[in-house]
Amino acid sequence: MPPAELEEYYDQLERGANNARGDDIKRLKEVIVDWVAELYPDAPRLTRVKRAGRGIQNDFTGRLICPITYDWDVEEIRTNLRDFNGHDNFNINNNFFCRCFYDGYSGNPDDFEKGFLKSNLLVKTYKYIFTSPSSAQNDDNGQENTDPHISRVDDISKPSARKCVASILGMKDEVTPRSIAYTCVMLHFSLNSASTWTIAHKGFSYKDLWNFIVDFFEDVPGPAAARRAKRLLDWWNRNVFPHTRSMATAATADFSRQALRDQRNARE
């Protein structure tokens, strides 16, 4: 492909990715209102029209984006987090262990991995983006107990609305670290107060968040951490694509067919 055509192709690809991200942001801005209301029925209802009133200043969205290393229930801590003036003790801009990513929206600072990336809200957001809004809505609890520009690559042409995004992207019914990272960015941004998409909001870098989640799965220190990351991906696949045959199921089915075939052939 000539350089000029290649450059045009990349431009189209990036425009498609940016448009897809914009669509996700717009839709999640609205649906997150219902999800937060389900979590906190007594909370003042967020507005669907804009994100103002969300973020760390809001008692409920603030709790969700607050890292597990801080006790949100302590008023003095909430005040210090909100009035952060550069003191490292209350700098949450480089702390990505947010409650909204954890099973039960709480975690153990002495064991960051326990429950991390297993929140119902995160699974619902993933399904809303990559499978369908109805699959997120029908998810009762969602649990059993690329690119630095932060964009999901979308097909440049207008696909049928009946086809889920995961199929369009050729994900083959498999959750990937990058799709989880993208979902984390979209969820956190939806809970924040930024008026429009920005790569960083009040010092919090969504590029760094995306890279951190990808590295959580791919930049592991050894085989034990690699096994834990693999188990987490397996957990995601069971929750997002429960009807897809696992490798173990496929192997069992193949064994049954072969065993039956061998017996039948022996009796011919």
Q: Assign residue 174 a region (left: φ > 0; alpha: ψ between -120 and 50; beta: otherwise).
A: beta
The structural domains of the chain, with segments of one domain joined by +, span 48-140+162-242
Token representation of residue 182: 């993208």
Residue of 122, 78, 127 whose CA lies nearest to 100: 122
Q: What 3 state SS string does the chain have?
A: CCHHHHHHHHHHHHHHHHHHHHHHHHHHHHHHHHHHHHHCCCCCCCCCCCCCCCHHHCHHHHHHHCECCCCCCCHHHHHHHHCCCCCHHHCCCCCCCEHHHEHHHCCECCECCCCECCCHHHHHHHHHHHCCHHHHHCCCCCCCCCCCCCCCCCCCCCCCCCCCHHHHCCCCCCCCHHHHHHHHHHHHHHHCCCCCCCCEECCEEHHHHHHHHHHHHHCCCCHHHHHHHHHHHHHHHHHHCCCCCCHHHHHHHHHHHHHHHHHHHHCC
Q: 45-59, 133-147, 244-258 — which is least confidently predicted?
A: 133-147
Residue 68 has which token pair?
């597990």
Q: What was the pLDDT predicted at 85?
A: 55
What digits encode the pLDDT tens for the residues 141-150?
Answer: 444 443 434 5
pLDDT in tens, 95-117: 999 999 999 999 999 999 999 99
Q: For the ranges 102-116, 157-171, 237-251, which has the lowest average pLDDT?
A: 157-171
